[in-house]
Amino acid sequence: MSVLRKALPDFKWESVDVRAYKDEATAPFRTVTRQVLASAPDLAGELRYFEVAPGGWTTLERHAHVHAVTILRGSGRALVGHEVLELGLMDLVTVPAWAWHQFRAPPDEALGFLCMVDAERDRPQLPTAEQRADLEAIPEIARFFGLASLSQEP
Amino acid sequence: MSVLRKALPDFKWESVDVRAYKDEATAPFRTVTRQVLASAPDLAGELRYFEVAPGGWTTLERHAHVHAVTILRGSGRALVGHEVLELGLMDLVTVPAWAWHQFRAPPDEALGFLCMVDAERDRPQLPTAEQRADLEAIPEIARFFGLASLSQEP
């Protein structure tokens, strides 16, 4: 691999594949892509760029491994644990071990972010129906999921 | 620590100290700052933001650990091994194990970049006088160091 991979327009890079975020059969999400920017046998961490298209969202999940996120494009919101965060360019988000988390792009703008993780890491867990209901019972989180606002609209 | 650290103007962040790049007594460099964006006992990697002021340069050094660099601000050049690279926004640079490397900002613009490394890593080595001379014997690298252009100017 070359030591230099030039940036291309629209948050793409030379010699970096734009991949599906996950296997769609394994987890719910909407319109998210994944690009692996750094991953090598001699690196303990990995650096990935995820982009959530306008109106899209990542899988609601949790795991033992930690995410260190830097917002590179656009804006959006995130649920981390029980906190709903407003995200802007260059903001830093830490997703602690076992915190439920999801990233959402606004209707009119993509949300792109770098995510550093350990190369060796556990698989994500999806919420059970009960865990999901517990989160939705919190009004701010229901609004984050787009549920409360839908019920208030005609 | 809060899960969200908002970006502040001019590539600074809430609750992130702007530190000296290195102890000036240990290694030569010019006008470089360091901010640690992600470092935790449960993360195998670390993410740092370095900024080289206009006309500044990082230490010429090498080590066993690998750098994964993403350019976030401005432009500049880097020496990696024996290659001189022209760097622009969002370009990706991999510094392989034991490659000599240095980052330089142009006279009129700062160069800012993210650098992912292993949290556990070896200490950098500085070049011996002989190693430095071997690099300077290569015209493109001498120009990168600012030597050839100085000798050509009145």
Cα four-point dihedral sign B40, A19, A144, A86: positive
**Annotated catalytic residue A115:** yes
Q: What is the reported pLDDT for B132? A: 97
B111, B90 Cβ separation under 8 angstroms: no
Give the A:B interface size as CB pairs under 8 Å: 132
Burial class (CB in 10 A: 0-12, 13-18, 19+), B107: exposed
Determine, for residues B116 and A38 on separate chains, whether the beta-carbon distance falls below 8 Å: yes
Share of chain A above pLDDT 90, in %: 86
Q: What is the reported pLDDT for A109? A: 97
Residue of B nearest to A71 (CA): B7
B51, B87 Cβ separation under 8 angstroms: no
> Which residue blocks in chain A are alpha helix, DSSP H?
129-136, 139-144, 147-152
Q: What ipTM was reported for this prediction? A: 0.92
What is the spatial distance between Cα A114 and Cα A48, in angstroms, rounded to a whole number? 6
Per-residue pLDDT of chain A (154 residues; tens, 9 = 90+): 689 999 999 999 999 999 988 877 778 888 999 999 999 999 999 999 999 999 999 999 999 999 999 999 999 999 999 999 999 999 999 999 999 999 999 999 999 999 999 999 999 999 999 999 999 999 999 999 998 655 544 4
Q: Name the stretches of chain B with pLDDT < 70.
A: 1, 148-154
Q: Which of A45, A85, A90 sits opposite B7 (nearest CB)?
A: A90
Strands of chain B (E only): list them.
Answer: 4-5, 7-8, 12-13, 19-20, 30-38, 45-57, 67-74, 76-80, 83-87, 92-95, 101-104, 111-118
Q: Which residues pair with A34 in a beta bridge?
A: A19, A50
Cα four-point dihedral sign A137, A141, A142, A148: positive
Q: What is the reported pLDDT for A1? A: 64
Q: Which site among A10, A73, A92 would you substitute to test the B interface, given the most B Cβ atoms closer than 10 Å to its Cβ? A: A92
Under the phi-then-psi rule, with left for phi > 0, alpha for psi from -120 to 50, and beta for the rest, what region is B45? Answer: beta
Q: Which residues of B touch A7 (CB under 8 A)?
A: 71, 88-92
**B32-48 pLDDT, tens digit each:** 999 999 999 999 999 99
Q: What is the reported pLDDT for A92? A: 98
Burial code (b: 16+ CB inside 10 Å, e: under 16) for A71-91 equals bbbbbbbbbbeeebbebeebb
Q: β-strands B30-38, B45-57: how paired?
A: antiparallel
Q: What is the reported pLDDT for A28? A: 85
- Which pair of tokens denotes residue B24? 């000036």
Among residues A71, A110, A111, A115, the one annotated as catalytic is A115
Q: Which of B3, B42, B83 sits opposite A80 (nearest CB)?
A: B3
Q: What is the reported pLDDT for B110? A: 97
